[in-house]
Copies of this chain bind each other. A is one copy, B any other.
Amino acid sequence: MRAVAGVAAGVALGPGTAQAADDEALPRQTAPGADVMTPPYGLPSVYEAGVVRRERTGGSPYPTRKAAASLTPLQDLHGVITPNGLHYERHHSGVPAIDPNDHRLLIHGEVERPMIFSVVDILRFPAVSRICFLECSGNTQNWGEPVAQYTVQDTHGLLSCCEWTGAPLKAVLEEVGVRPEALWMLAEGGDAAAMTRSIPVEKAFDDALLAYAQNGEKLRPEQGYPLRLLLPGFEGNTNVKWLRRLKFGRKPWQTREETSKYSWVMPDGSVRQFNFVMEAKSVVTSPSGGQRLRDRGYYEISGLAWSGRGKIEKVDVSIDGGASWTQASLQEPILPKCLTRFRAPWRWTGEAAVLTSRATDETGYVQPSRDELLKERDARSYYHYNGMQRWRVADDGVVSNGG
């Protein structure tokens, strides 16, 4: 901590000055403030009005605001929890307003006892809570040329992390009796798009949840209120919102969202489907694109790392674009399939720098560079970009997207 001295510190006072400043010179309130419960469900300070979800800088890539996305302001966040009001969104036909008393979940297909569940039925099951990330597999469009003015909200904002609570899907499935020949599960949303995905039955019996709460309170409408499928570590789109139906069968259904979209383009031009797991990835959130270092000296390089396969083992950071690396410290607790906050000290000398980070997960998988990723996938790809992110720091302190 001695390295910080004289840099992060404030204004030093002589003893006399300090005495004078004791009660008079510093700002203080002289009139009572607002009442309690103003309002009963509290809101952020008016001075934080700029910290909101946004569409991508330069406009949304989507045709309407019904089939669209909004991005979490990662550059303004601390720790790993995303407050519910800032959780990213991706909808295919807008956000339905569903009365939980009317909502039903049908489980049918290759099962012994097809059943319909109300939300109260699902709440009656034993519950599980876990903190885990959700990431849209369309997050981070660095396949092509980087857009210099992109912030980390633009490049990585389809990423959030909450404490989710729900019933373990396997407990509910014991009630219906899934037949041994069922190898796939169709999950259908209750939105007007009836968004559907085919999920391997192993995941349904592993850590899948029928989630009804996030960060303590009930799901937000845009997160699937009153019920969503939660598949920790799987691409966001498979975590079907406003969950209406689960059907068991022998083969995947080849729905729109797993044929025309959410597939990979391989270097030989072939297309690979059913790429569920989000591989290890990381990003520096501070300093990051659009910010400006106000003066030379000490900074904390801080960011997020995550893996759909388990815990983060290690994060390395670089100030020279990956030529040399230093191991960052990881904030405890380190949880599986959860964002992990990393931090590394840095003294900025006033020279240009390129900040980047590289995550390693507990399976030993190492986050690739963009070049390494492009050996595995064609640049015409759209989904599952998990290459390292570079931020260029100019000698005037301005930070921009280096792709």
Beyond the given pairs A1-B174, A79-B129, A129-B331, 20 more chain A to chain B contacts, judged by CB atoms under 8 angstroms and listed by A's residue number, are A1-B126, A4-B171, A10-B115, A11-B117, A26-B245, A29-B96, A32-B66, A32-B192, A33-B95, A33-B192, A35-B68, A36-B68, A36-B69, A42-B222, A46-B97, A78-B213, A78-B217, A79-B165, A80-B163, A81-B131
Identify the interface centre among A80, A102, A212: most chain B CB within 10 Å of its CB.
Answer: A80
**Structural contact, B124 and A27, CB atoms closer than 8 A:** no
Query: Is the C-beta of A194 less than 8 angstroms from some C-beta in chain B?
Result: yes
Indicate with 1 or 0, residue by residue over A190-232, a CB within 8 angstroms of chain B CB atoms.
1110100000000000000000110111111110011000000
A299 interface contact, C-beta 8 A: yes
Q: Are B215 and A83 in contact (CB under 8 A)?
A: yes
Residue A2 interfacial (CB < 8 Å): yes
A174 touches B96 (CB 8 A): no
Whether, in the assembled complex, A44 has its beta carbon less than 8 Å from a beta carbon of chain B, the answer is: yes
Cβ proximity bits A83-114 to B, threshold 8 Å, 1 near / 0 not: 11111010101111111101111101000011
Q: Which B residues touch A10, using CB under 8 A?
A: 104-105, 115-118, 121, 175
Residue A324, interface by CB 8 Å? no
Number of interface residues of A (CB under 8 A): 130
Could you tell me the distance in whole angstroms from the C-beta of A78 to the nearest C-beta in chain B?
A: 4
Chain B interface: which of A50-58, A149-157, A357-365? A50-58
A89 contact set on B, CB distance < 8 A: 36-37
Is B127 a contact of A343 with CB atoms below 8 Å?
yes
Q: Is the CB–CB distance between B127 and A51 below 8 Å?
A: no
Residues of B within 8 A of A22 (CB): 106, 108, 245
Is A29 in contact with B65, judged by CB distance below 8 angstroms?
Answer: no
Task: Give chain B residues whose Cβ lies under 8 Å from the Cβ of A144.
Answer: none
Residues of B within 8 A of A33 (CB): 66, 91, 93-97, 191-192
Is A18's CB within 8 Å of the partner chain B? yes
Give every chain B residue within 8 A of A17 (Cβ-Cβ). Answer: 114
A95–B4 Cα distance when bound, in Å, is: 33
Option from B36, B99, B102, B129 in Cβ contact (under 8 Å) with A78: B129
Contact with B along A171-187 (1 / 0, CB 8 A): 10011000000000000
- Residue A252, interface by CB 8 Å: no
Q: Is A70 interfacial (CB 8 A cutoff)?
A: yes
Q: Could you tell me the distance between the alpha carbons of A192 and B84 in the complex, rounded to whole angstroms?
A: 31
Interface of chain A residues 273 through 303 with chain B (CB within 8 A): 294, 298-300, 302
Most chain-B CB neighbours within 10 Å: which of A35, A80, A91, A99?
A35
Q: Does A63 contact B (CB under 8 A)?
A: no
Contacting residues, chain B, for A323 (C-beta < 8 A): none
Listed by A's residue number, 24 A-B pairs whose Cβ atoms lie within 8 Å are: A5-B174, A13-B116, A32-B93, A33-B66, A33-B93, A34-B94, A34-B95, A34-B221, A35-B65, A36-B55, A40-B70, A41-B44, A41-B85, A42-B53, A45-B100, A45-B218, A45-B219, A45-B226, A79-B129, A80-B129, A83-B215, A83-B216, A86-B217, A124-B300
Does A82 sit within 8 A of B, measured CB to CB? yes
Is the CB–CB distance between B190 and A95 below 8 Å?
no
Nearest 3 A/B pairs, CB to CB? A33-B94, A18-B114, A10-B117
A343: B residues at CB distance < 8 A: 126-127
Candidates B9, B29, B48, B127; contact of A218 at CB < 8 Å: B48
